[in-house]
Chains A and B, each alone.
Chain A
Amino acid sequence: MTDESDIWSIEARLSAPSARVSSLSLARAKLSRPAEVLVIVYATMIVLLLANPQALVSWLADLPQNAVTEAARSAAEEVVDISARLGLSAPYEAARERVLRSGWIKRDRGQR
């Protein structure tokens, strides 16, 4: 049976943890770049949907009303309920309310 020291030199043993980290990084890197971007984009959309679902409801309300947008709107309102029950949208709403109450900003009047 081979002694471990035959495999790992002292330097190698010292560097073993970082080697492990880099092997983990490599495992992460196996995700191709387009796949990684896709994960980031879709996961970000889910986080935004849960943290500020009201934005989606407002956006859908501005679209022409038809069966599809109505269905999407009721689904979005369900997300609003779920997010509120879980307290996920509370931090965003509180922060937004605070900024609005500060009087720093007002509604967009268009710009050139």
Chain B
Amino acid sequence: MLFPTIDFLLFFAVVFPITWSLNDKNTLKKLFLALVSYAFYACWNWRFTFLLFFSSTGNYLACRLLAGTSSPKRRSFITFVAVTLNLLGLAYFKYFDFLAAEVTNLAGFFGLDLDINATEVPLPVAISFLTFHGLSYVFDVSRKKVEASKSLLDVVLYMAFFPHLVAGPIVRAADFLGQLSKKSDPDHIDIAGSFALILGGVIKKVVIASHIATLFVDPVFVNPSDFGRWDLILAAYGYAIVIYCDFSAYTDIAIGVANLLGYQFPQNFNQPYRATSLRDFWRRWHMSLSSWLRDYLYIPMGGDRGGRWATYRNLMVTMLLGGLWHGAGTQFIIWGGLHGFGLALERFLKETFGFDSSKGTLAVRLLGWFVTFQVVCAAWIFFRCPSSSAAFEYLGLILRDSAAPPTVTPFVIALMLLGFATQLTRPERYESVLRWYADASLALKVAVPSLTILCVGVLGPRGVAPFIYFQF
């Protein structure tokens, strides 16, 4: 069930009033939300609801065991087992076939004939997000940042809550479990802000991302050799807009829907293509993932405490694993490696020459923005291509001198500019619109979403493609 569909509108129209009517009976409300979240997940493949339940139960039991012991050795052991079990699930579903193919290839290279059967098990939707939520809970309890929940229902709902279930944002247990312990405050509903996020998300996904992808980016990436240099370059920029509008649309809608139901999620995007350095980029792009990687991977590895080269190594390892998290393929590892190398290089330049593109004069910051944007877009080529060899071929075709005229249409260019304009508008500009909507009459409050959705219907393609991050 995708967000910008009639299915979801009807689903929400039923879930919303029941959720609030149960607000005074918090346990019943949570039970209801857990059940509808499982129903939401079952829309893709009902069998994987068992995986979701066992994962939640396993993490709940591990954290209860952690709460019951104060021995550091036992706590470390329990944490180790819980983390391993979480990662084993991810490894089996997401990486087994990839590793099997790579090992078989490597063995073949050395003349060995290995036959490792692929599992051919379909990848559960959002397996990576489930694992991140489970690990977040175990780590937070292990570090005593959050108390182990006594309620299995709370942990089940934390892991399965339908707005964040499929593609984030990654919500920390420490931030969410407290919200479940008491009834929601209806005054915390930000009607204007939530509707703006939801409607903006629908426009970004259905109008901007879908059209740029289907009209231009997908055909170019599927058959790059049919296109000239300018199309290849523009398609790389186009994909940067597509993935931003697609992914930020999902998390914006998730944040808006959760707020309407009485729960607060963290912000996940903050105009990432304004970034003047890669470090700045990762503070603005998929913020819940980058802070997760920082807190649970980079800092435990030593962060920047072990000296220069150890810091560069930690940055590299963190981003390589971040790349691998996105998908089982060398193209994702290279994508992460490029970001890791860029982050390490920025740090080296800052430490050696005192150069920081985020803090210099306007000219330095503009140069920093330009270089960062080019690096990010070049790295997206690896992210979009089906394999690393396809990505290298794509880059080779850009370098090849081709006289083929560009095929991109003015409509696609206009959409790309519109998508990029979302990066330039200062957030304060939205504030006055939000205030206007908050004070508007009920008739206007109905007119705005109605007209927006009708306009999206007029301008959008027939049908909605799945969100890109569903595959992760």
Task: List residues of A whose CB falls within 8 A of some B CB.
Answer: 25, 28, 31-34, 36-45, 47-48, 51-52, 55-56, 59, 92, 95-96, 99, 104-112
Contacts and interface: CB of A to CB of B under 8 A. Distances in A.
Contact of A105 (B16, B209, B211, B260): B211
Nearest to A104: B411
Interface of A is mostly: helix
Contacts of A47: 446-447, 450
B468 A112 contact: yes
B189 A33 contact: yes
24 contacts: A25-B439, A33-B189, A33-B191, A34-B16, A37-B16, A38-B20, A41-B16, A43-B446, A45-B13, A51-B450, A51-B454, A59-B7, A92-B458, A105-B211, A105-B215, A108-B210, A108-B214, A108-B461, A108-B464, A111-B210, A111-B242, A112-B213, A112-B218, A112-B221
Nearest to B411: A104
B446 A108 contact: no
Contacts of B453: 44, 48
Contacts of B439: 25
Interface of B: 6-7, 9, 12-13, 16-17, 20, 23, 186-187, 189, 191, 195, 209-211, 213-215, 217-218, 221, 242, 260, 384, 409, 411, 439, 441-442, 445-447, 449-450, 453-454, 457-465, 468
B214 A42 contact: no
A42 to B, nearest CB: 7
A48 B454 contact: yes
Contacts of A105: 211, 215, 411, 459-461
B369 to A, nearest CB: 27
Minimum-distance CB pairs A-B, first 8 = A111-B213, A47-B450, A34-B20, A108-B461, A43-B446, A33-B189, A104-B411, A111-B465
Contacts of B409: 104
A45 B210 contact: no
A107 B214 CA distance: 8
B458 A95 contact: yes
A57 to B, nearest CB: 11
Contacts of A36: 191, 442, 445
Nearest to A96: B458
B218 A41 contact: no
Contacts of A108: 210, 214, 461-465
Contacts of A112: 213, 218, 221, 384, 468
Interface of B is mostly: helix
B189 A37 contact: yes
Given A48-B454, A105-B211, A111 B218 contact: yes
Contacts of A59: 6-7
B223 to A, nearest CB: 13
Contacts of A38: 16-17, 20
A44 to B, nearest CB: 5
A52 B457 contact: yes
Nearest to A93: B458
A99 B459 CA distance: 7
A66 B407 CA distance: 46
Contact of B465 (A42, A44, A110): A110
A40 B442 contact: yes
A109 B218 contact: yes
Nearest to A36: B191
B4 to A, nearest CB: 12
A111 B454 CA distance: 23
A40 B411 CA distance: 33
Contacts of B459: 99, 105
Contacts of A37: 16, 189, 191, 260
A31 to B, nearest CB: 8
A51 B271 CA distance: 34
A60 to B, nearest CB: 9
Nearest to B414: A104
A36 B449 CA distance: 14
Nearest to B213: A111
Given A37-B191, A106-B215, A44 B442 contact: no
Nearest to A32: B186
Contacts of A99: 458-459
B458 A110 contact: no
A40 B187 contact: no
**Most B CB atoms within 10 A — which of A96, A106, A111?**
A111
